[in-house]
C-alpha cells in the first residue's frame, strides 16, 4: 500500500529569519505573551486506498469562522478563535488557551478530487473526507515522422 506523505507547515513568511523572543517565551510559558500569533489545531489523518480522512480539533470556533481550501495537491484549514476579554479589574493567573488566527497546510503526495469532498463541523471537531484520484498509468505516445 502506498501511503501519502504529508508535510505540515505554515512557513509562508520568508522574510522572518528566526523566531522572536516572544515566540520563544510563549512556547515555554504562555504567561509571557498574549500576541496574536498563528496557532495550529491538532489533527488526525488516516487514509484508505480510495479516501483521506482528516479530523481537526478546533473547540470554541464558530463554523462561520472556519475556512477550508483544497486543490489537487494541498489542503488548507484556517480560521479564527475569539475569546472573551478579561474583566477590567481582573488579571490572568494562567492563560493557556490560544486565541486568534489558526492555519494548517497539508501537502499531499497523491492528487485528490476537488469535486468530491465533504466537510462537517460538530462538537468542536471538523471532519473532512476527500476522495483520491486514481493513479494514472504510464501511457506510450506514438511519435510521427512528419
Q: Is 40 within a domain?
A: no
Contacts of 13 (CB under 8 A, 6+ apart): none
pLDDT exceeds 60 at position 16 = no
Q: Is 17 within a domain?
A: no
Separation of alpha carbons 139 and 111, rounded Å: 18
pLDDT exceeds 90 at position 144 = no
In this predicted structure, what is the pLDDT of residue 29?
46
pLDDT band at 143 (very low <50, low <70, confident <90, very high): confident
Q: Is 31 within a domain?
A: no
Q: Is 45 within a domain?
A: no
- For the segment 40-49, the average pLDDT, to the nearest whole number, is 94
Predicted TM-score of the model (pTM) = 0.67
Q: Is 141 within a domain?
A: no
Residue 109: CATH number of its domain: 2.60.40.790
Q: Is 90 within a domain?
A: no
Q: Choose the weakest-confidence range: 3-17, 64-78, 99-113.
A: 3-17
Q: How many domains does the chain have?
A: 1
- Identify the domain containing residue 56 by its residue range: 1-10+51-83+97-134
Give tens-digit pLDDT for 53-89: 999 999 999 999 999 999 988 999 999 999 877 788 8
pLDDT band at 2 (very low <50, low <70, confident <90, very high): low
Q: Is 39 within a domain?
A: no
In this predicted structure, what is the pLDDT of residue 26?
46
In this predicted structure, what is the pLDDT of residue 145?
84
**C-alpha cell recorded at residue 134:** 486514481
In this predicted structure, what is the pLDDT of residue 137?
60
Q: Is 115 within a domain?
A: yes
**DSSP calls for 39-71:** B--EEEEEE-SSEEEEEEE-TT--GGGEEEEEE
Amino acid at each position: 500500500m502506498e501511503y501519502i506523505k504529508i508535510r505540515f507547515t505554515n512557513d509562508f513568511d520568508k522574510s522572518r529569519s528566526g523566531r522572536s523572543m516572544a515566540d520563544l517565551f510563549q512556547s515555554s510559558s504562555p504567561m509571557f505573551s498574549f500576541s496574536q500569533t498563528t496557532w495550529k489545531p491538532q489533527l488526525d489523518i488516516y487514509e484508505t486506498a480510495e479516501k483521506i480522512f482528516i479530523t481537526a480539533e478546533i473547540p470554541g470556533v464558530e463554523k462561520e469562522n472556519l475556512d477550508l481550501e483544497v486543490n489537487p495537491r494541498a489542503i488548507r484549514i484556517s480560521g479564527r478563535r475569539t475569546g472573551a476579554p478579561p474583566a477590567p479589574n481582573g488579571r490572568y493567573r494562567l492563560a493557556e488557551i490560544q486565541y486568534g488566527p489558526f492555519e494548517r497546510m497539508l501537502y499531499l503526495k497523491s492528487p485528490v478530487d476537488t469535486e468530491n469532498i465533504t466537510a462537517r463541523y460538530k462538537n468542536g471537531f471538523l471532519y473532512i473526507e476527500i476522495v483520491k484520484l486514481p493513479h494514472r498509468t504510464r501511457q506510450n505516445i506514438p511519435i510521427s515522422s512528419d
